[in-house]
Amino acid sequence: MIIPEPIENEVKLLGGTEGIALRIANEDKLAEQSTIHHALSSTIRLKILSLILVQPLCVCLIKEIMKMSDSKLSYHLSTLVASGLIRREKKGNWIIYHPTEKAEKYRVEV
């Protein structure tokens, strides 16, 4: 295979293609990032995450603000929980959604 000399030299310095392959994240980390990117790929979920970053909220308040059905909201909240960006906390009869530390770096500024 013929490749440009400057690239060939850099690849050699990195330990060849094997050395490059060792410098990328493992499958578990890539899968985690994929889940986060999926969760953030929806403007609806970004808006829900933004609300929860302002203030932890119960489902009834999120539903009122978002103006969506229970089933649709449940799907989006479950996706955000699965990504590790938000967490559920049961307080009596209520479930309160809180941002995780991981969520903070995805805050969308006004």
pTM score above 0.85: no
Q: Which contacts qualify for 35-43: CB closer than 8 Å, 24 or more apart?
A: 35/82, 35/83, 35/84, 36/83, 36/84, 36/85, 36/102, 36/106, 38/79, 38/83, 39/79, 39/80, 39/82, 39/83, 39/85, 40/83, 40/85, 40/106, 42/76, 42/79
Task: Give the chain's domains with CATH numbers.
Answer: 27-106 (1.10.10.10)
- Residue-level pLDDT at 1: 85
80-94: average pLDDT? 97
87-95: average pLDDT? 96
- Residue-level pLDDT at 35: 95
